[in-house]
Chain A
Amino acid sequence: MKEEARQNAWELLAARPRQYESGKQDGAPFGFATRVAALGLEAQQKAVEISIFALERYWLRGLALAGLLAAVTFLAGLGQMGELADLTTSAEAQLLSTGGGW
């Protein structure tokens, strides 16, 4: 019995505060809701403004970056196509010089 109680020491202790009533009110204290609502609406408005500001400020930069990336990708692709064309030409020349056919 004593050993069991030792094992359940925490459980026995934890069961007690459930019956504890702090005596504190559950309702919002006077002025709390008005203050928090005002601050909350202000914060909400700020969050919206920040997202609009970020959109306005960065959309042109984003567009420019996307264009730059597209150009780089295009040029890299063009370079690879040139190399491929050179390879094809030299293979054809080699084939013609040896007198081979298709």
Chain B
Amino acid sequence: MSEGPTLDVGTCLEAVRGGDQGAAVELVEHFYPLVIKIARAHLPRRVAEEDLAQEIFLKMFTRLEQYRAEQPFGHWLSRIAVTTCLDALRAQKRRPELRWADLSEEEAATIQASREVAMKPNAAELAATHDLVTKLLDTLGAEDRLVVTMMDLEGLSVAEVQERTGWGESKIKVRVFRARKKLRGALERLEKEKQ
């Protein structure tokens, strides 16, 4: 969420409002890492991350007049990115309950391996875990998924989630509690199926 010393965001925004294409390109390039990180974290199935990033930037441009310099531009843009991702997640159908047969060999092995805390996973195992976690998250509703991704995968605090979503503290806590319960239940069911 840093706005780096290389870009004077205020001046750049003024130029963009005046229709300066060069400034608009500079703005997109500068904030691309922030936007793509959020888009990747909350990417729905069958949606390309670049398409989602483009949608976020287009919303940014059309709402630029509404931006007030009271908050850092990065925070304002993050909020747009999160709501756009949430809309995209809502638009996708939830994956039905995950079954053991839906898992690849690597993903199935991951469930067992994740219990062995002391073991340091290699790159392939980490990739398999990433895929398994994505499949599990796909079984959740959009809001549950968003909150649990932010808190458990990105390591954000409740206050940071509040800042990005604009939701109340109790809503976030309730959502994450329910989502974790569902995910634990899903993992338990998978292990029972395996046995």
Contact = CB atoms under 8 A, between A and B. Distances in A.
Interface of A: 5-7, 9-14, 16-22, 24, 26-29, 32-41, 43-45, 47-48
Closest 9 CB pairs of A and B: A40-B61, A37-B24, A28-B32, A33-B28, A26-B33, A20-B126, A14-B152, A10-B183, A16-B129
Determine chain A's interface SS by DSSP, over half rule. Answer: helix
A82 B114 CA distance: 85
Nearest to B17: A44
A17 B21 contact: no
Nearest to A26: B33
B155 A45 contact: no
Interface string B11-26: 0000010010100111
B62 A34 contact: no
Contacts of A45: 19
A79 B13 CA distance: 57
Interface string B48-69: 0010011001101110110000
Determine chain B's interface SS by DSSP, over half rule. Answer: helix
Given A20-B126, A26-B32, A13 B111 contact: yes
Which of the four size classes fits the interface of chain B?
35 or more
Contacts of B90: none
A10 to B, nearest CB: 4
20 contacts: A10-B180, A11-B152, A12-B114, A17-B126, A20-B127, A20-B130, A21-B126, A22-B40, A27-B33, A33-B29, A33-B32, A36-B54, A37-B24, A40-B57, A40-B61, A41-B16, A41-B19, A44-B16, A44-B62, A45-B19
B91 interface: no
A96 B6 CA distance: 92
Given A5-B115, A43-B58, A17 B32 contact: no
B158 interface: no
Contacts of B88: none
A1 B121 CA distance: 21
A38 B21 contact: yes
Given A9-B115, A41-B19, 4 more contacts: A13-B187, A28-B36, A34-B25, A44-B64
A37 B28 contact: yes
A32 to B, nearest CB: 7
Contact of A9 (B21, B57, B60, B187): B187
Contact of A26 (B24, B27, B36, B115): B36
B101 interface: no
A14 B29 CA distance: 31
